[in-house]
Chain A
Amino acid sequence: MGFELQGLGLAHANGTVALADIRLAARQGENIALIGPSGAGKTSLLSVLGTAWSGQPGLQGAVRVLDSELSALHARALRHLRARIGTVHQAPPLPGRQRVVTSVLAGRLGQWPAWKSLASLAYPADITGARAALARVELEDKLFARCDQLSGGQLQRAGIARVLYQQAALVLADEPVSALDPALALATVRLLVADAAQRGATLVASLHAVDLALGCFARIVGIKAGRIAFDLPADQVSEAQLQALYAGEGQQLPTLLPARAAAVPMNACR
C-alpha cells in the first residue's frame, strides 16, 4: 500500500484550518498529481504524507504511510520509515556552501550506517552514484561545484537528483519544476514519473501547471480550501471541474504553455 488517509484534518497553531475531512488512499506504484489554487492545502497534504506532522497537536485522523500507522511509531521506526520517503521541496533545502556531491549523497543519510555518513563528509562515499543521479537531471558537470554557484533551476534539479539517489518507495514532490523553463519542466516531470514507475514507487506531486498534471499523471486530485474537490483518472477530469477548481483565480487556467499554443498533449508521459 502506498498510503491511506482517513478523516484527516490539520490545524495550524494559530487556529487556521489547513486541511479538513481528507479521505485519500493510493496503491503502491500509483502516480498522483495534486492540483488546485495556491493556498488550497497541497503543500500541507504533502507534508502530512512526509510525516512532518507526526506527533504534532494539530493533526487529526488516521494516517498510514507505506504500511505503517503513523501514530503507533516510535522514534526509531519513524526514522526507518522516513528513510523510505523522499521529498522534493518547493525551495531546494541545499546549504549554499555545501558541494553538490555532498548534497546529493545526503539523500541516503537515513540508510547509511553512521560511520559511512561521517566518513562521507571527509571524502564523498559514492561519487559514481551521485554522478549518475546528477546525469539524469543533466547536471553531471556540476558534481563538484558548490550549491551557491548553481542557478535557481539548477538548484531545483540538484534537489531532485538527491531524491532520485535516495530511491525512496514513496516520492513526494512539492511544485518540483516551478523554477524550470517549460521544456525542462516537462522533461523533469517525465523523469520523476518514469523513475517511480521503473522502481514501483508511489509518486505524489503537487503541480501548478494543469496541463502538465493532466498530461503526465494517471490520477488527478483537485484540492480547494483544504478539502478534496475531485479525485479522478486524468482522462475523466472535465473542463467544468477545472474551471470550478480555479474559480476566482482569473479567467485562465494556470498552464505550463500559453493557451492556444501547443498545450502539453494528453499522455505526454506515456
Chain B
Amino acid sequence: MPLKPAQRDPASRARLAHALLALCILWPLFEAAQVRPGALFEAGNLTVIGNFLAAFLPPATGSEFLGYLGQATLQTLAIATAGMMLACLLAVPLAYLVSAAGRDRPTLNPLARSLLTVLRGIPELVWALVFVRVFGLGPAAGVLALGLTYGGMLAKVYAEILESTDPAPARALRHSGARRPLAILYGLVPQAAKELVSYTVYRWECAIRASVVMGFVGAGGLGQLMDQSMKMLNGGEAASILLTFLLLVFAADALSNALRRALDAAPTAQPSPWGWRSGTAAVALALAVWASFRLLDMDLPALFSHESAASMGQFVASFFPMDLSAEWLRRVAVGTWETLAISVVGTLLAAVLGLVLALAPLRPVSHLLLNLLRSVPELVWATITALAVGLGPFAGALALALHTSGVLGRLYAQALDNAPRAPASALALSGAGQGLAFLYGTLPGAGPQLIAYTLYRWEMNIRMAAILGFVGAGGLGQLLYFELSLFHYSQAATVIVAMLALSIGVDQASAWLRRRMG
C-alpha cells in the first residue's frame, strides 16, 4: 500500500536492506555447512545414537581402569597448571612490551604485537599436533601448546586491563621520576590486581578443558584416555571419563568462584602484606606448580638442548616453502569457507538454544543442563553428533552449537538478570503477555550485551571450528589432520596460514559488528 512519506517509517528501508544482506550472506553459509535438521530424526541414525548412548551404561568401575582414570585426571590437572605457569611467564613480559600503560604516548610495537596475533590465532590443538611431531606423544606437547596459546591470550588481556585502569597514579609517579616498570607496579597493578587475578583463574579453568581436548591428539591426560575408549567403542569407560571430567570442571568452577570472592575480602591492618590467606594461597600455588612438573616428569632442559633445537629447526624448515599451487589453494579456500560456515551456523544455533535455556522457567533444571552442555568439550560432542547426522560440517556445527549454547546460556541469563526490570514489568501491568513484555521491555535493554557475548564467542568458535575437522567434521581441520598424517608439511603450512588469516579476519569482522550494533 502506498503511504504518504510522513507516515512511512524512515528506518524501514535500511532495515530491509540489512535483513536482505544478512540473508544473502547466511544462506550460502548454511548451504556450505550442509544443514539438514531432518537427519537428526531419521530412524536409522536414532538407533545408532541410542545404541551408542546405551553402551555408556553402566559406567566402567573396574579397579584397574579406575587407577588409569585417577592417573589421567592428575595428569590433566598437571598439564593445565604447568601450561598456565608457562603462559604467565610468557604473558607478563609480552604484555609489558605491548601495553600502552605507563607510556607517555602509545607505541605500536609491531614485532611483539604480531607475535601475539600468531600465538593466539593458531588454535592450541594445532600447536599440540605440531609439538607431538617434535617431542613425541605425551604431556610435554600439551604443556607447550597451552603455554604458547594462553600466553598470547593472557598477554593481550593483561595489556588491555592495564590500559583500561585509571592512568593518573602511574602518570604522577612517572612525572616524579619513577621508571615505567615501577610506575606500573605501584600505580596500576594495585588497581588492576583483582581483575588480573580473576582473569588468570578463569583461564586456568579453560586450560583444564583445553588440556582434555588436546589429549585427543596424543598429548596425554583424560583426553587421550577418552580417545582410546571411544576408538575401542567402550562406552562404559567413556562414560566414566566423561563423568570425571564433569566433576573436574564443576570443581574448577567452584574453586575459581571461591578465589574471586576471596579477592573481595578487605586486607587486615598489619605492616606485612602477607596474611594467612594470601600466604596459604602462595604456598599452595608453588606446591601445585612443583607437583605438576614433578608429575609430568618433563625433561625441561632437554627441550632447550642443542639436539631438540636442531630437530625443531628442521621440523619448522620442513614446512617451507608453503604449497601455493593453484589446485591446493582452491582446496584450502573451500576448506576456509566450510570452516567459516561451521563457526557461523554453530554460533547462531547456540545463540537460539542458549536464549531459550536462559529464559526457561525452571531455573535449577535449566542451570544443570547449561552446565552439562558447557562442560562437555566440542570435540566430544562432535564424536556424538557425527554418529547422529554422519560425518561432515553439519556434525561440526551441531557440536559447536551444543557446547556454545551452554556457555552463552549462562552469560545470557546473567545479562538478562542485570537488565533493568521496570520496562517489562510496566508492560505486564498494562496487559502485555510475558513474551511480549520481554520483547518490548527487556530485550532492547539487554540486546547489545547479548550481541557482544555472541560475537566474542564467535571469535573463539572460529578457532574451534578450524580444529573440529580432526574428528571428521570437514573444513580446514580435516585438511590439516590429513596432510599432517601424510607428512605433507608444505601443504599443512598453507592450511595453518589460512587458519591464522581466518581468525584474524573474524576478529576484525566481529569488532566491526560490535561497534555497529553496540
Contacts and interface: CB of A to CB of B under 8 A. Distances in A.
Interface stretch (B21-29, B234-242, B423-431): B423-431
B12 A93 contact: no
Interface stretch (B164-172, B436-444, B454-462): B436-444
Interface stretch (B3-11, B255-263, B396-404): B3-11
A194 interface: no
B59 interface: no
Interface string B1-39: 000000111111001000000000000000000000000
Contact of A96 (B428, B440, B442, B445): B445
B390 interface: no
A128 B7 contact: yes
Interface string A112-145: 0010011001111001100100000000000010
Contacts of B12: 123
A45 interface: no
A166 B430 contact: yes
B111 interface: no
B269 interface: no
Nearest to A87: B429
B190 to A, nearest CB: 34
Contacts of A93: 422-423, 425-427, 441
A111 B433 CA distance: 10
Contact of A106 (B422, B425, B433, B440): B440
B448 interface: yes
Given A101-B9, A114-B436, A128-B7, A95 B445 contact: yes
Among B11, B420, B425, B426, the one with the most A-chain Cβ atoms within 10 Å of its Cβ is B426
B9 A127 contact: yes
Nearest to A120: B440
Contacts of A118: 436, 439
Interface in A77-94: 79-87, 89, 91, 93-94
B432 A89 contact: no
Given A94-B423, A97-B445, A102 B429 contact: no
A107 interface: yes
Nearest to A99: B11
A52 B424 CA distance: 13
Given A106-B427, A128-B7, A166-B430, A97 B447 contact: yes
B431 A111 contact: yes
Nearest to B423: A93
A91 B422 contact: yes
B452 to A, nearest CB: 13
A122 B15 contact: yes
A85 B429 CA distance: 8
B395 to A, nearest CB: 33
B440 A102 contact: yes
A86 B445 contact: no
A247 interface: no
Contact of A110 (B425, B432, B435): B432
A28 interface: no
Contacts of A79: 431, 433
B431 A109 contact: yes
Contact of A144 (B11, B423, B431, B440): B11
B430 A83 contact: yes
A98 interface: yes
Contacts of A81: 431
Contacts of B11: 99, 144
A121 B448 CA distance: 17
Contacts of B439: 117-118, 121
A123 B436 CA distance: 15
A110 B430 contact: yes
A50 interface: yes
A103 B442 CA distance: 12
A87 B447 CA distance: 25
B5 to A, nearest CB: 11
Closest CB pairs A-B (n = 5): A110-B431, A83-B431, A109-B432, A95-B444, A93-B426
Interface of B: 7-12, 15, 420, 422-423, 425-433, 435-437, 439-442, 444-445, 447-448
Given A82-B431, A93-B427, A95-B441, 6 more contacts: A52-B429, A82-B428, A82-B430, A83-B430, A85-B429, A109-B437
